[in-house]
Amino acid sequence: MNPTTTIAVRAARAAGRVISRYSERLDAIKIETKKRNDFVSEVDRAAEREIISTIRAAFPDHAIIAEESGVHKGNDYQWIIDPLDGTTNYLHGFPQYAVSIALRFRGELTVAVVYDPSRDELFHASKGEGAYLDDRRIRVTQKKGLEGALLGTGIPFRDLTHADAYFGMMRDLIVDTAGVRRPGSAALDFAYVAAGRLDGFWELGLAPWDFAAGALLVKEAGGMVTDIAGGERYLESGNVLAGGPHLHHFLVDRVKPYLNENLTF
């Protein structure tokens, strides 16, 4: 593990300790509504402070974009942070949430860490060095098509602009697959694709901090990540497809009838 990834792991574990400590008193946590169906808690903010403090101690000149505190200016290195992906799950005691930390250098993702404190599972990757679950190398599955594939997704719940297109995609993907799962944490969904627990994943309207780390995990595990039309602008659009190299092409073809200029831009 290179030194930069080591710092990301340290920051993720520090945030995980905060999250676990608060989980013992969920009924006392202060919660605010950012917008419809979008919540932030004192846990999110406390975990984010731990991450930023750890990164700043090692790399004071690096830039940061964090879900709760926004943009912190710096040099060409930019950390992309979601301190608690799956806040709604967490607040309900539903154990599917994670810390997500990625590093981007001049537009290219170079480090990824997704940490699940409830299971103490650490997914990490460094560009060109593969993807790992703790100390074990992980790989995407080699599904040749949709038959028997298990897919992950995220159902639109904040912005319903593309709901019709999304549910059309879901209907057509369910037909030939083993099923679709919606656990509620995109960071973990991507990590599960990288680890072969899911064969593929798609979602519309994600923010960069939701899946920047997950995208590098999938790529380093031998998979493909694109925007919904099969292009490279997934971090910009937030409309994303991920999966093994063979399955990915089938996903692109299956969602194609539901694309429009607002989804592909």
Q: Is 111 helix (H, G, I), strand (E, B) or coil?
A: strand
In this structure, the number of other CB atoms found within 10 A of the CB of residue 23 comes to: 17
Q: Known binder of ligand: residue 227?
A: no
Q: Are 19 and 47 in contact (CB under 8 A)?
A: yes
Residue with tokens 């990824």: 112
Cα 162 → chain centroid: 20
Residues contacting residue 180 through CB under 8 Å, at least 6 positions apart: 151, 152, 153, 170, 173, 174
User: CA angle, 212 as apex, 265 and 173 as ends, to 5°?
Assistant: 60
Q: Known binder of ligand: residue 210?
A: yes
E strands, 44-138, in order: 63-66, 70-72, 77-85, 98-105, 108-116, 121-126, 131-133, 136-138
Q: Known binder of ligand: residue 84?
A: yes
Q: Are 55 and 69 in contact (CB under 8 A)?
A: no
Instruction: Please report, to the nearest 10 degrees, the dihedral formed by the alpha carbons of residues 104, 55, 187, 6 taken in order.
Output: 90
Q: Known binder of ligand: residue 189?
A: no
- CA–CA separation, 165 and 189 (whole Å): 21
Residues contacting residue 78 through CB under 8 Å, at least 6 positions apart: 62, 63, 64, 65, 103, 104, 105
- Tell me the binding residues: 67, 82, 84-85, 210
Binding residues for Mg(2+) are: 67, 82, 84-85, 210
